[in-house]
Amino acid sequence: MLRKFTQKLLSTDIQKKVEDRLAQISPSLNELGYDEWGMHLSSIKKAILSLSFLYEKYFRVELHGIEKLPPGRVLLVANHGGQLPIDAAMLCYAVLMYADPPRIARTMADRFLPKLPFLSTFFVRCGQVIGTPVNCKALLENEEAVVVFPEGTRGLGKPYWKRYQIQEFGSGFMRIALETNTPIVPVAFIGTEEAYPSFYNAKPVAKFLKIPYFPITPTWPILGPIGALPIPAKLHIHFGDPLTFSGDFDGTEQEIQQKVYVVSQSIQDMIKQGLKERKKIFS
Protein backbone atom coordinates (compact mmCIF):
# COMPACT_ATOMS: atom_id res chain seq x y z
CA MET A 1 0.00 0.00 0.00
CA LEU A 2 2.80 2.44 0.93
CA ARG A 3 4.66 1.56 -2.25
CA LYS A 4 1.58 2.16 -4.43
CA PHE A 5 0.96 5.51 -2.73
CA THR A 6 4.61 6.49 -3.18
CA GLN A 7 4.67 5.51 -6.83
CA LYS A 8 1.71 7.81 -7.49
CA LEU A 9 3.79 10.69 -6.15
CA LEU A 10 6.78 9.81 -8.31
CA SER A 11 7.26 10.60 -11.95
CA THR A 12 8.06 7.82 -14.40
CA ASP A 13 11.42 9.57 -14.87
CA ILE A 14 12.38 8.80 -11.26
CA GLN A 15 11.36 5.17 -11.60
CA LYS A 16 13.34 4.83 -14.81
CA LYS A 17 16.38 6.48 -13.21
CA VAL A 18 16.29 4.00 -10.32
CA GLU A 19 16.18 1.09 -12.77
CA ASP A 20 19.02 2.57 -14.85
CA ARG A 21 21.24 3.13 -11.80
CA LEU A 22 20.67 -0.39 -10.48
CA ALA A 23 21.41 -1.80 -13.95
CA GLN A 24 24.93 -0.35 -13.67
CA ILE A 25 25.62 -2.45 -10.57
CA SER A 26 26.64 -6.10 -10.87
CA PRO A 27 26.77 -7.66 -7.41
CA SER A 28 27.54 -11.34 -6.94
CA LEU A 29 24.16 -13.01 -6.37
CA ASN A 30 23.05 -16.58 -5.87
CA GLU A 31 20.38 -18.35 -7.93
CA LEU A 32 17.65 -16.77 -5.76
CA GLY A 33 18.97 -13.24 -6.31
CA TYR A 34 20.59 -12.69 -2.90
CA ASP A 35 24.20 -11.90 -2.06
CA GLU A 36 25.99 -13.63 0.82
CA TRP A 37 24.79 -11.00 3.32
CA GLY A 38 21.13 -11.26 2.26
CA MET A 39 20.92 -8.22 -0.01
CA HIS A 40 18.26 -8.40 -2.73
CA LEU A 41 18.15 -5.91 -5.62
CA SER A 42 14.36 -6.03 -5.89
CA SER A 43 14.07 -4.97 -2.23
CA ILE A 44 16.55 -2.14 -2.81
CA LYS A 45 14.51 -0.89 -5.75
CA LYS A 46 11.34 -0.81 -3.62
CA ALA A 47 13.18 0.97 -0.80
CA ILE A 48 14.73 3.58 -3.08
CA LEU A 49 11.39 4.33 -4.72
CA SER A 50 9.84 4.76 -1.27
CA LEU A 51 12.72 7.00 -0.14
CA SER A 52 12.55 9.12 -3.29
CA PHE A 53 9.73 11.31 -1.99
CA LEU A 54 11.49 11.86 1.34
CA TYR A 55 14.81 12.67 -0.31
CA GLU A 56 13.66 14.79 -3.24
CA LYS A 57 10.54 16.50 -1.85
CA TYR A 58 10.29 16.23 1.91
CA PHE A 59 13.87 16.84 3.08
CA ARG A 60 15.02 18.40 -0.23
CA VAL A 61 18.51 16.98 0.28
CA GLU A 62 21.42 19.00 -1.08
CA LEU A 63 24.73 17.27 -1.77
CA HIS A 64 28.15 18.87 -1.43
CA GLY A 65 31.23 17.12 -2.79
CA ILE A 66 29.82 13.69 -3.67
CA GLU A 67 32.24 13.64 -6.59
CA LYS A 68 34.98 13.05 -4.00
CA LEU A 69 33.68 9.52 -3.40
CA PRO A 70 36.29 7.18 -4.94
CA PRO A 71 35.52 3.92 -6.74
CA GLY A 72 36.34 0.64 -5.04
CA ARG A 73 36.42 -0.08 -1.34
CA VAL A 74 35.74 2.90 0.87
CA LEU A 75 34.58 3.69 4.40
CA LEU A 76 32.05 6.50 4.64
CA VAL A 77 32.36 7.76 8.22
CA ALA A 78 29.61 10.14 9.33
CA ASN A 79 28.14 11.99 12.30
CA HIS A 80 24.90 10.60 13.68
CA GLY A 81 21.88 12.48 15.01
CA GLY A 82 18.14 13.00 14.93
CA GLN A 83 16.81 9.99 16.89
CA LEU A 84 15.81 8.13 13.70
CA PRO A 85 18.34 6.79 11.13
CA ILE A 86 17.25 9.37 8.57
CA ASP A 87 20.88 10.17 7.84
CA ALA A 88 21.70 6.55 6.94
CA ALA A 89 18.69 6.26 4.62
CA MET A 90 19.40 9.54 2.84
CA LEU A 91 23.10 8.69 2.42
CA CYS A 92 22.28 5.30 0.90
CA TYR A 93 19.88 7.00 -1.52
CA ALA A 94 22.44 9.65 -2.48
CA VAL A 95 25.25 7.16 -3.11
CA LEU A 96 23.06 5.04 -5.37
CA MET A 97 21.31 7.84 -7.24
CA TYR A 98 23.97 10.54 -7.50
CA ALA A 99 27.45 9.02 -7.10
CA ASP A 100 29.50 8.20 -10.18
CA PRO A 101 29.59 5.25 -10.50
CA PRO A 102 26.42 4.38 -8.55
CA ARG A 103 27.05 2.37 -5.41
CA ILE A 104 24.99 0.35 -2.96
CA ALA A 105 26.06 1.68 0.42
CA ARG A 106 26.28 -1.04 3.07
CA THR A 107 25.48 0.48 6.46
CA MET A 108 26.94 -1.09 9.58
CA ALA A 109 23.77 -1.36 11.67
CA ASP A 110 23.51 -1.54 15.45
CA ARG A 111 23.38 -4.97 17.05
CA PHE A 112 19.76 -4.47 18.16
CA LEU A 113 18.65 -4.60 14.49
CA PRO A 114 17.84 -8.36 14.58
CA LYS A 115 15.43 -7.70 17.46
CA LEU A 116 13.17 -5.56 15.28
CA PRO A 117 10.30 -7.68 13.94
CA PHE A 118 9.75 -7.49 10.16
CA LEU A 119 12.04 -4.46 9.81
CA SER A 120 15.18 -6.50 10.49
CA THR A 121 14.60 -8.70 7.44
CA PHE A 122 13.75 -5.71 5.26
CA PHE A 123 16.90 -3.83 6.28
CA VAL A 124 19.09 -6.84 5.51
CA ARG A 125 17.50 -7.27 2.09
CA CYS A 126 18.21 -3.59 1.42
CA GLY A 127 21.92 -4.18 2.02
CA GLN A 128 22.30 -3.25 5.68
CA VAL A 129 24.59 -5.46 7.74
CA ILE A 130 25.10 -6.03 11.47
CA GLY A 131 28.11 -3.92 12.41
CA THR A 132 30.69 -6.56 13.31
CA PRO A 133 34.38 -6.35 12.35
CA VAL A 134 34.05 -9.61 10.41
CA ASN A 135 31.21 -8.25 8.27
CA CYS A 136 32.91 -4.90 7.72
CA LYS A 137 36.22 -6.45 6.60
CA ALA A 138 34.49 -8.92 4.30
CA LEU A 139 32.48 -6.15 2.61
CA LEU A 140 35.56 -4.00 2.10
CA GLU A 141 37.51 -6.92 0.69
CA ASN A 142 34.60 -7.24 -1.74
CA GLU A 143 35.25 -3.61 -2.80
CA GLU A 144 32.04 -2.29 -1.26
CA ALA A 145 31.17 1.20 0.03
CA VAL A 146 30.60 0.76 3.77
CA VAL A 147 28.85 3.37 5.95
CA VAL A 148 29.95 3.68 9.59
CA PHE A 149 28.56 5.90 12.36
CA PRO A 150 31.28 5.63 15.04
CA GLU A 151 29.17 7.52 17.60
CA GLY A 152 26.57 4.75 17.49
CA THR A 153 23.45 5.38 19.56
CA ARG A 154 25.42 7.95 21.61
CA GLY A 155 25.11 10.27 18.63
CA LEU A 156 21.72 9.22 17.30
CA GLY A 157 19.91 9.52 20.64
CA LYS A 158 21.52 12.66 22.04
CA PRO A 159 19.29 15.54 23.22
CA TYR A 160 18.72 18.65 21.14
CA TRP A 161 20.95 20.87 23.25
CA LYS A 162 23.89 18.67 22.23
CA ARG A 163 23.05 18.96 18.52
CA TYR A 164 26.01 18.89 16.15
CA GLN A 165 28.39 18.08 18.99
CA ILE A 166 30.17 14.92 17.92
CA GLN A 167 30.13 12.29 20.63
CA GLU A 168 33.01 9.93 21.34
CA PHE A 169 34.06 7.88 18.32
CA GLY A 170 34.73 4.18 18.60
CA SER A 171 38.08 3.12 17.14
CA GLY A 172 37.08 -0.12 15.43
CA PHE A 173 36.57 1.46 12.00
CA MET A 174 40.12 2.84 12.00
CA ARG A 175 41.68 -0.53 12.80
CA ILE A 176 39.70 -2.07 9.94
CA ALA A 177 40.70 0.74 7.56
CA LEU A 178 44.37 0.13 8.39
CA GLU A 179 44.07 -3.64 8.10
CA THR A 180 42.27 -3.53 4.73
CA ASN A 181 44.10 -0.49 3.31
CA THR A 182 40.79 1.35 2.84
CA PRO A 183 40.40 5.11 2.27
CA ILE A 184 38.04 6.98 4.58
CA VAL A 185 35.65 9.65 3.32
CA PRO A 186 34.35 11.84 6.16
CA VAL A 187 30.67 12.78 5.81
CA ALA A 188 28.85 15.56 7.66
CA PHE A 189 25.07 15.86 7.99
CA ILE A 190 23.34 19.19 8.53
CA GLY A 191 19.59 19.24 9.23
CA THR A 192 19.02 15.86 10.85
CA GLU A 193 19.22 17.34 14.34
CA GLU A 194 16.30 19.68 13.57
CA ALA A 195 14.29 16.98 11.81
CA TYR A 196 13.66 15.06 15.03
CA PRO A 197 14.68 17.03 18.13
CA SER A 198 14.55 15.25 21.48
CA PHE A 199 14.50 16.87 24.90
CA TYR A 200 14.29 13.74 27.07
CA ASN A 201 15.24 10.06 26.94
CA ALA A 202 12.66 7.91 28.75
CA LYS A 203 15.13 5.27 29.90
CA PRO A 204 12.59 3.08 31.78
CA VAL A 205 10.50 2.79 28.62
CA ALA A 206 13.59 2.08 26.53
CA LYS A 207 14.66 -0.64 28.96
CA PHE A 208 11.18 -2.20 28.89
CA LEU A 209 11.16 -2.21 25.07
CA LYS A 210 14.80 -3.38 24.98
CA ILE A 211 15.91 -0.53 22.74
CA PRO A 212 18.83 1.88 23.24
CA TYR A 213 16.69 4.95 23.95
CA PHE A 214 13.12 6.25 23.83
CA PRO A 215 13.06 9.92 22.79
CA ILE A 216 10.45 12.42 23.96
CA THR A 217 10.04 15.18 21.40
CA PRO A 218 7.82 18.28 21.21
CA THR A 219 5.26 16.20 19.28
CA TRP A 220 5.97 12.57 20.26
CA PRO A 221 4.31 10.72 21.92
CA ILE A 222 1.80 13.44 22.87
CA LEU A 223 0.37 13.63 19.32
CA GLY A 224 0.50 9.91 18.68
CA PRO A 225 1.54 8.56 15.27
CA ILE A 226 1.38 11.99 13.62
CA GLY A 227 3.79 13.30 16.22
CA ALA A 228 6.31 10.64 15.24
CA LEU A 229 6.76 12.20 11.81
CA PRO A 230 10.05 14.07 11.39
CA ILE A 231 10.07 17.82 10.80
CA PRO A 232 10.79 18.62 7.10
CA ALA A 233 14.07 20.44 7.72
CA LYS A 234 16.26 20.78 4.64
CA LEU A 235 19.12 18.29 4.79
CA HIS A 236 22.66 18.87 3.59
CA ILE A 237 25.21 16.10 3.10
CA HIS A 238 28.85 17.19 2.92
CA PHE A 239 31.54 14.81 1.63
CA GLY A 240 35.14 15.48 2.61
CA ASP A 241 38.35 14.60 0.79
CA PRO A 242 39.35 10.91 1.11
CA LEU A 243 41.75 10.27 3.98
CA THR A 244 44.33 7.49 3.91
CA PHE A 245 46.17 6.24 6.98
CA SER A 246 49.16 4.01 7.52
CA GLY A 247 50.39 2.13 10.53
CA ASP A 248 49.81 -1.03 12.54
CA PHE A 249 46.11 -1.90 12.82
CA ASP A 250 46.99 -3.73 16.03
CA GLY A 251 48.68 -0.68 17.53
CA THR A 252 47.99 0.81 20.93
CA GLU A 253 44.64 2.48 21.56
CA GLN A 254 46.42 5.83 21.91
CA GLU A 255 48.00 5.47 18.45
CA ILE A 256 44.69 4.51 16.89
CA GLN A 257 42.78 7.28 18.66
CA GLN A 258 45.16 9.88 17.25
CA LYS A 259 44.08 8.79 13.76
CA VAL A 260 40.42 8.62 14.80
CA TYR A 261 40.67 12.21 16.01
CA VAL A 262 41.75 13.34 12.53
CA VAL A 263 38.54 11.89 11.09
CA SER A 264 36.22 13.20 13.81
CA GLN A 265 37.79 16.65 13.64
CA SER A 266 37.39 16.71 9.86
CA ILE A 267 33.68 15.97 10.28
CA GLN A 268 33.32 18.55 13.06
CA ASP A 269 34.99 21.17 10.86
CA MET A 270 32.60 20.39 7.99
CA ILE A 271 29.66 20.64 10.38
CA LYS A 272 30.87 24.02 11.59
CA GLN A 273 31.31 25.30 8.04
CA GLY A 274 28.01 23.79 6.91
CA LEU A 275 26.09 25.47 9.72
CA LYS A 276 27.79 28.75 8.88
CA GLU A 277 26.79 28.49 5.22
CA ARG A 278 23.24 27.36 5.92
CA LYS A 279 20.95 30.36 5.82
CA LYS A 280 17.72 28.84 7.09
CA ILE A 281 16.64 25.51 8.57
CA PHE A 282 13.83 24.90 6.09
CA SER A 283 15.33 26.28 2.89
pLDDT for res 117: 59
Which band of pLDDT confidence, cut at 50, 70 and 90, is reported for residue 8? Answer: low
Provide, rounded to the nearest whole percent, the portion of the chain with pLDDT above 70: 93
- The rounded mean pLDDT for the chain is 88
Residue 10 has pLDDT above 80, yes or no: no
Query: Total domain count for the chain?
Result: 1
Which band of pLDDT confidence, cut at 50, 70 and 90, is reported for residue 118? Answer: low
Average pLDDT over residues 136-147: 96
Is the Cα dihedral 169, 170, 173, 178 positive or negative? positive
Residue 270 placed within a domain: yes
Query: What residues contact 117, with CB distance under 8 A and at least 6 apart?
Result: none
Residue 283 placed within a domain: no
pLDDT tens for 60-71 read: 999 999 999 999
Residue 197 placed within a domain: yes
Are the beta carbons of 141 and 134 closer than 8 angstroms?
no
* 125-129, 135-139, 187-191: the lowest-pLDDT one: 125-129
pLDDT tens for 190-244 read: 999 999 888 888 888 878 877 777 788 888 778 888 888 899 999 999 999 999 9
**DSSP secondary structure code for residue 182 in this structure:** -
* 50-59, 117-126, 247-256, 257-266: the lowest-pLDDT one: 117-126
Residue 263 has pLDDT above 70, yes or no: yes
Residue 83 placed within a domain: yes
pLDDT for res 115: 61
Residue 246 placed within a domain: yes
pLDDT for res 114: 56
Residue 32 placed within a domain: yes
Which band of pLDDT confidence, cut at 50, 70 and 90, is reported for residue 116? Answer: low
Domain with 263 in it: what CATH number? 3.40.1130
Residue 105 has pLDDT above 80, yes or no: yes
pTM of the model: 0.90
Measured CA to CA, the distance from residue 18 to residue 161 in angstroms comes to 38
Residue ranges making up the domain that contains 100: 2-277
CA 91 to chain centre: 5
